A and B are shown apart, each in its own frame.
With several copies, the nearest count.
Chain A
Amino acid sequence: MADLNLVEAVREGLRQELARDRKVVVLGEDVAKDGGVFRSTDGLFEQFGPERVIDTPLAESGIVGMAIGMAVAGYRPVAEIQFSGFVYPAYDQLVSHASRLRNRSRGLYACPLVVRMPYGGGIRALEHHSESMEAIFAHVPGLKVVIPSNPYDAKGLLAAAIRDPDPVIFCEPARIYRAVRMEVPDEAYEVPLGEAKVVREGVDISVIAWGALVRTARQAAEQLAQEGVCDVEVVDVRTLSPLDTGTVLASVQKTGRALVVHEASRTGGFGAEIAAQIQEQALLQLQAPVRRVAGSDVIPPLAKLEDYFQPSMNLLVNEIRATMEF
C-alpha cells in the first residue's frame, strides 16, 4: 500500500500498464520529458523511453487520429489531451472513427484507445482550462466515459480502461488531483467499468455524483448527519457510459428521493439523463422531484468569478434540505 494522491495514482496506473503490456503506449503534448503539465506522466519517459512515451506535435485531432491507427494495428494507446477544453479538435476523430470502427467493420477492427484528460474547474486556471463536457461524450454510441473521484478508483479504473477492448474517455478531475491522499495497493488491479458505487449509505435521499463533486457530496452528507437533518446516501457514478442504472435506481428506490450533482452546465448536462431515467423507472417511489445541482449555463469563468460557478457544499446542503422538505 502507498499513500497516493490522484495524480500519483494515475501515474502508477500508467506505469504498471506500460510495464505489463508492450502494446501500451502513452502519447500527447508534453507527456515525455516534461512529464505532463500536471506531472501525471512524470518519470515514465525515463523508464520506458521515447518509443513508449511519446511527445507529439501540438494537434489534438492528430493525437487521437494517430492513436486510432495505433489501436487498429494492435496497440493500446493512452492519449493525453492537455486539458479537456482542448479536446474539441479531436471530437470528430472520436465520434466519426474511434466510436465506429468496430461497428463499421462489423467487428473486424476495434479501437482500444484511452483518451485521458484533466477535467473540470477549481484550479483558478485560464479560459478553456476548466471545462466539464462529459455530456458530449456520454451521448456518443461506441464510446465509454469514466470519471474517477478518488485515487484508488483512478488507478483501478484506468487499468480497466486501458485493458478494455473499446475506446474510453477518461476524465480526471483536476481540482482533486492533489486534494486527497489515500491508501492505494502497490500491485495492479482493475475497478470494473460500468459499475457505480454507493460510497456512503443512507436512507433518506440519494445524492448521485461523479468526479470532484463526490467529495463535496460526502461532506454535505456528513454535515446534514451531524445536524440531524437527514441520512444521505451518496452514489459515485464512476462510469457515465455505460451507466450503471441498476445501482442508481436501487438507491433511489430505497430512499425515495434523489439529487444529481455535477459541475457541467445544467442544460443538457448528464444529470438530465440520470434524472430522466430515475423518474422514468421509479416515479411511484419518488417523494420529491429529482433536482439537479449543476454549474450554471455559462462559460466557466476566470479566477475572480470561479467560486460563483461551481456547486458548493453549501448549495448542495440547501438543495438536499429543499428536497427533504418537498
Chain B
Amino acid sequence: MPVTNLMTFNVSRMEVMDLDGNVDAGLMPDLSPEQVAELYGIMVLTRRLDERMLKLQRQGRLGTFARVLGQEAAHIGAAYAMREGDWLVPAFRETGSFIVRGIPVERVLQYWGGDEWGQHFPEGSRVLPVSVPVGTHMLHAVGIGWAMKQDRERVAVLTVFGDGATSEGDFHEAMNFAAVFQAPAVFLCQNNHWAISVPYGRQTAAASIAQKAIAYGMPGIQVDGNDVFAVYRVVRDALDRARNGEGPTLVEAHTYRMADHTTSDDARKYRPPEETAYWQERDPLERLARYMRRKGLLDEAREAETLARAEAEVDRVVAAYEAFPAPPPDDLFAHLYAEMTPALRAQRDALLAALGEGE
C-alpha cells in the first residue's frame, strides 16, 4: 500500500563531436562529405551575413534584428535534417534555417529592413513567417502537423523557439496538444541560456528544458547545440519518428547567444564576460572546421574559398536587398482580407488623395 514508485523517467543528452572535432562513430549521422561541406558553407554564410547585417544596422541601412551568432549549429543542423515537404515554423532567431530551407536571403534582409514583403516566401516553401510574440507559434505547428497527418502526407513539422519561450502558457498548450493529438511535430528549443537579460536559471527551476517533455508524456532529449552532428542526428531521428506516426518530440539544443539580444540591446549591462569566454571555446563553426580538417575535408584553400563564396553571396544579397523598391503606401490596406472592405477602400483612397495633394 504505502508509498509506491509510480514511474521513473530518464532524461538523456546526446553529443556526437567533442571540442576537438572527434566524433563518436556509433552516433555520427550518415552525411556525405559533400553534405558536410554544404552544412559548413551554410554556417559560414550565416555567420558572414550576421556580421554584415550588424554593420548595415549600425549604418542605419537595416532595422533592429536578432543576431544568430553562436547558434548556427543548432538551427542550421536542425533545418538540414528536414526533408522535402516538411514545414518550418520559426521564431525570430533562425536566419540559418531560412537559408537551409531555400528562402531567398535578400528576403530576410528585406524583412528586417522594415518591409513585410520580406516574408512573402516562395509559394510552396512551407516556411511560416517570423513570429515575434514569444512562444505563440508552436501551436501553429501542432495544427499544421495535425493537418498533414489528416492529409496522410508523410511529412513533419519543425518548430523552433528559445528558452524564454518555454515559460509562456502557449508553449505548454502546444506541447500538450501535440502529445494528445500525436501531431508529427518536433519542438526544437534553442536554449541559448538567456532571454534578453534573464538567465536560464531565473526562467525556470528545472535543470533542463528536455525534462519538460515528461509533463506531456512526450519524449524529450537534450543535445549539445553547438555540435552540428548531434543536432542533426537527434532532430532527424525525431522528424523520422514524427513522419512514421510515432508522435512529437521535444529537443533541447544547449547553445549560447554569443551576441546581444538584438541590435537594440547591450548585454554588457547584465552578462558576465566569463560566460561568453566559456562558450567561445565551444564555437560551433570552429568545432565543425576542426572535424573537417581532421577528415581532410577542409584545408586553408577550401576555407578561404568557402569564405570568399560566402562574402560574394552576402554582397549579392545586400545589393539585391537595397535594390528592392519601397512598398507602395496602399500596401497598408491590401492584405488585411482576401477582399478589401469598403472602410479600408475609403481609408486607402483618403490616404492616396492626401499623398497626392502633398506632392
Contact = CB atoms under 8 A, between A and B. Distances in A.
Are A and B direct contacts in the complex by CB distance below 8 Å?
yes
Interface of A: 29-30, 32-35, 37, 51, 55-62, 65-75, 77, 85-86, 88-89, 92-93, 96-97, 101-110, 124-129, 141-142, 144, 165-166, 194, 242-243, 245-246, 266-267, 296-299, 301-306, 308-309, 314-315, 318
Contact of A303 (B63, B119, B140): B63
A296 B351 contact: yes
A58 B333 CA distance: 33
A104 B139 CA distance: 17
A104 B181 CA distance: 28
B258 interface: no
> A-B pairs with the 7 shortest C-beta distances?
A69-B143, A65-B139, A303-B114, A62-B173, A73-B147, A34-B197, A242-B341
B174 interface: yes
A30 B173 contact: no
B139 A69 contact: yes
Contact of B170 (A61, A106, A128): A61
A70 B338 CA distance: 18
Given A65-B170, A70-B147, A142-B337, A304 B197 contact: no
A244 to B, nearest CB: 8
B332 A298 contact: yes
A181 to B, nearest CB: 22
A205 B344 CA distance: 28
Contacts, number: 248
B136 A97 contact: yes
B180 A57 contact: yes
Nearest to A294: B347
A127 B132 contact: yes
Contact of B139 (A62, A75, A105, A246): A62
B269 A65 contact: no
Contacts of A302: 63, 111, 114-116
B272 to A, nearest CB: 11
A246 B204 CA distance: 50
A246 B180 CA distance: 48
A85 B336 contact: no
B343 A58 contact: no
B63 A92 contact: no
A141 B146 contact: no
Contact of A70 (B89, B131, B143, B173): B143
B168 interface: yes
Nearest to A307: B329
Interface in B139-174: 139-148, 150-151, 164-165, 167-170, 173-174
Contacts of A97: 131, 133, 136-137, 140
B202 interface: yes
Contacts of A65: 136, 139-140, 142-143, 170, 173-174
Contact of A124 (B63, B196, B198): B63
A110 B197 contact: no
A154 B147 CA distance: 28
Contacts of A242: 337, 341-343
B113 A304 contact: yes
B338 A57 contact: no
Contact of B332 (A77, A89, A305): A305
A128 B133 contact: yes
B315 interface: no
Nearest to B120: A106
A30 B196 CA distance: 7
Which among A56, A110, A302 has the highest number of chain B CB atoms within 10 Å?
Answer: A302
B208 interface: no
B116 A106 contact: yes
A73 B198 contact: no
24 contacts: A30-B196, A37-B196, A57-B164, A57-B202, A58-B165, A58-B203, A61-B169, A62-B174, A62-B177, A65-B136, A66-B142, A68-B143, A70-B143, A73-B147, A88-B133, A102-B338, A106-B331, A106-B335, A108-B119, A165-B338, A266-B347, A298-B336, A301-B332, A308-B351
Nearest to A57: B167
Nearest to A299: B336
B174 A245 contact: no
Contact of B197 (A33, A61, A107, A124): A33
A299 B140 CA distance: 20
Nearest to A306: B114
A75 B150 CA distance: 10
A179 B238 CA distance: 51
Given A59-B169, A303-B63, A109 B133 contact: no
A96 to B, nearest CB: 5
Contact of B176 (A34, A57, A129, A314): A57
B168 A89 contact: yes
Contact of A102 (B181, B336, B347): B336
B35 interface: no
B347 to A, nearest CB: 5
A55 B116 CA distance: 33
A69 B114 contact: no
Contacts of A35: 269
Contacts of A246: 342
A33 B202 CA distance: 12
B327 interface: yes
Nearest to B146: A70
A205 B118 CA distance: 44
B95 to A, nearest CB: 15
Interface in B193-234: 195-198, 202-204
A194 B358 CA distance: 33
Contacts of A267: 343
A315 B354 contact: yes
A65 B169 CA distance: 12
B278 interface: no
Which among A57, A97, A297 has the highest number of chain B CB atoms within 10 Å?
Answer: A57
B173 A61 contact: yes
Interface string B46-84: 000000000000000001100000000000000000000
